[in-house]
Amino acid sequence: MLFAHAGSTVRLLLMAGSLALANAAIAQTPPLPSDGLPLPDIGAEASLHAALAELDRSAATVVAEVGPHIITWGDVADAIRAMPPIVAGLPFPALYQRAVMQLMQQEALALRGQTAGLDKDPVVQRLMRNAADQAMASEVLRRSLAPNLTDKALHETYNALVAGKPAPDEVRARVIMVDTQDEATALIQRLQTGADFAALARDFSKDGTAQDGGDLGYARLDTLSPEIGSVIFALAPGQTTAFPVRSHNEWFILRVDGRRQLPAPTFDAARSALEQDIIHAGTPELMREALMAAPVTYHGLTGKKATGEQP
């Protein structure tokens, strides 16, 4: 997934669908050069779906070259699609540029690996083969289930699951993450004597949101680890945790800045998520059918020695 290197925020958030994860990655991504990255001619107000369709229409357009490796609009569209769905609310030019930067970094590392001969390493070859197989399997699923994505099916799913139902509660929170309980306790004491939370986050937090004053944005309960979520949703706006909260071997200080419950999204806004719901619903049966039709031999826990391998 794009933004996989969002630093310590990954330890806090269990689901990639969190805006905090996207914000953390953006915060840690180096600034782009001011030239050499042509933006597609897409208005900032265009929907993400329309913007990606524009990239797809000219998928072979070259965005950047890293040695012999090229990056195209199609590559950028794929990278953006791999981002958490919540990033659809961010400005498209920012998403575009971040995707291009990550792809350039990825190709630069790949070029370095090839120069070092890593593409000949058996472990790397296995990983590359598995990645290719995974991409093929995903595309088979997408194309096989695409006929299920009719307007009728999408509207039925929307009416059953979304229409008239408000979105889950969301809390806007800030976080300071440190390595030890003592550090967290000391910072809580400073907050209790009037210190500014955002300033302390910028100075001491090791979370990817530090430079934004620890701002996680609005988050749903299901996007947070159980330890973090249970505390944040128990706080009222303006409250800060009185004691450090431990999650995934790190210590957190949490503050709630606001709460909200959005109305149900429109059909157009929910369309992408509805498509994914329908695809996910059809995936188990399609996978079962594929497995039944394939020539499979299972060798059990002990496995089978490779040809030529010494017993």
Domain count of the fold of the chain: 2
For 240-298, the pLDDT digits (tens) are: 999 999 998 899 999 999 999 888 888 887 887 888 889 889 999 999 999 999 999 99
Q: Is 61 part of a structural domain of the chain? A: yes
Q: At what angle do helices 48-57 and 73-81 cross, to 10 degrees?
A: 150
Q: Is 21 part of a structural domain of the chain? A: no
Range(s) of the domain holding residue 174: 170-260
Q: Does 182 share its domain with 252? A: yes
Q: Is 231 part of a structural domain of the chain? A: yes
Say what the pLDDT of residue 88 is: 63
Q: Is 6 part of a structural domain of the chain? A: no
CATH number at residue 195: 3.10.50.40
Q: Is 126 part of a structural domain of the chain? A: no
Q: Is 196 part of a structural domain of the chain? A: yes
Backbone angles phi, psi at 70, to 5 degrees: -115, 150
User: How far is Cα 3 from Cα 80, in angstroms, rounded to an integer?
Assistant: 10
Looking at 214, 229, 260, which one is the last position of a domain? 260
The answer to whether the beta carbons of residues 245 and 175 sit under 8 Å apart is no
For 179-231, the pLDDT digits (tens) are: 999 999 999 999 999 999 999 999 999 988 898 999 988 888 888 889 999 99
For 109-139, the pLDDT digits (tens) are: 999 999 999 999 999 999 999 999 999 999 9
pTM for the predicted model, two decimal places: 0.57
Q: Which of 237, 242, 278, 236 is nearest to 257 (CA)?
A: 237
Q: Is 230 part of a structural domain of the chain? A: yes
Q: Is 1 part of a structural domain of the chain? A: no
